[in-house]
Homo-oligomer: A and B are copies of this chain.
Amino acid sequence: MKTHAKIAASEWAVMRVVWEEHPVTANTIIEVLSKSTDWTPETIRTLINRLMKKGVLGHEREGRAYVYTPLVDEADCVRSESQSFLQRVYGGAAKPMLVGLIEECDLSAEDIESLRDILDKKAEGGTE
């Protein structure tokens, strides 16, 4: 597991687009995020540049434009952000966190079934 720079809240929006669609042009990122946020293209470009400065996003030439690719693994980032959330809000106590989240989230019957399966596997796994 690698350590990486902290991704700020608004930077997550950019990274999530890049993880999903890479290699991806700035214009595409802008297109996607203009729909889901109030940001101007300038704001989004700034975020892109900051992420590059942080070393979590890279780019290479493709024609007249750059295509951007992530330099960090999405799963690693999700994991560290999750640990950070767990530590900050629940003092590291996993069970109360899961209890709280399960009670609070909207879940379909299929979701619940699925989660039960995962818990079952986890139980089988024993000390995993």
Query: A residues bordering B, Cβ < 8 Å?
Result: 9, 12-13, 16, 78-79, 81-82, 84-86, 88-91, 94-95, 97-107, 109, 111-112, 114-116, 118-119, 122-123
Kindly state the separation between the CA atoms of A71 and B50 in the bound complex, as whole angstroms: 36
CB distance from A101 to the nearest CB of B (A): 6
8 further contact pairs, Cβ within 8 A, besides A94-B111, A116-B116: A12-B89, A78-B90, A82-B104, A98-B102, A98-B107, A99-B115, A102-B119, A112-B119
Do residues B98 and A89 form an inter-chain contact, with CB atoms below 8 A? no
User: What residues of chain B lie closer than 8 Å to A100, measured between beta carbons?
Assistant: 78, 82
Report B-chain residues with C-beta under 8 Å of the C-beta of A13: 88
* Alpha-carbon gap, A94 to B110, bound state (A): 13
Q: List the B residue with the shortest CB-CB distance to A16.
A: B91
Contact of A102 among B79, B105, B107, B122 (CB under 8 A): B122
